[in-house]
Structures are given as structure tokens and as C-alpha cells.
Amino acid sequence: MSHSSVPSVLFVCVHNAGRSQMAAAFLAHLTQGRIEVRSAGSAPADTVNPAVVQAMAEVGIDISAETPKILTPEAVRTSDVVITMGCGDTCPYFPGKRYLDWQLPDPAGQGVEAVRPIRDEIRGRVSGLIEELGG
């Protein structure tokens, strides 16, 4: 476990502009601080995908102020669970961490209609993760 008694989860995708942002927002929203949440990208974009921001706003979660962040070894080292979404070998590996790889379509360049089913799939997976972590 991390330095605190609160489990921590890191969501990683290449650009940290879509999938990982949605997953982090759902986890933070649904657990209200019972789980520490981070997200990052191996090659972060300049901004969060506007269609992702819109899709999340439709379910009452505002991520318009979020910015993509660079993935650091420290972020991985201080997380209990690392969930990758298509970044593959670019994610640093630390023994003793729990790694999950969620195969999800990339919302980059997609309109909000294409983002909604990805958002809903992520919400379902995050809900399952919360049950697993006891959050």
C-alpha cells in the first residue's frame, strides 16, 4: 500500500486527454476521496479532448479544468494500482504494483457520439474497480 491508508490508482493512456481523464474523473466522483486518483500520459496532449469534456458534462462531471499530465516513474511508484489504456511498453514497471490493462477505443478525433459508449464502458469498469478495492 502507499504511504497512507487510502488506496491509490493511476490511470495511464498515451495522451492523457480522453480515456484516462474519464476514468480518473469517475473514480474521484464515485469515491469522494476514499481512493486517491491520478492520471497521466506517456505523451500528453496540450488539452483534454473537447468531446470527452462534453460527454462527461452530460453525466454531471466537469473536467473542463483538467490538463493532461506527463507520466513519471514517481507517479507509478506511489500508486497501488496502475491501469493502462493503450500505452503498452511505455509505462514504467515496478515490481509489487498491480497492473491492469483496459482495452478501450481511443476517443481521439471522435465526436461526442463516439465518446459516449467509451465513457459508459469506463464508468462500468471503474464501478467494478471500486468494489474490488473496497472503496
- Catalytic residue (one of 87, 115, 118, 129): 87
Residue 91 annotated among the catalytic residues of the structure: yes
- Catalytic residue (one of 91, 115, 118, 122): 91
List Cβ neighbours of 134 (8 Å cut-off, separation of 6 or more): none
- Catalytic residue (one of 9, 10, 12, 13): 13
Picking from 104, 75, 106, 80, the residue whose alpha carbon sits closest to that of residue 92 is 75
50-57 vs 19-31: helix crossing angle, rounded to 10: 30
Taking the alpha carbons at both ends of the chain, their separation in whole angstroms is 14
Which of the residues are catalytic?
Answer: 13, 87, 91
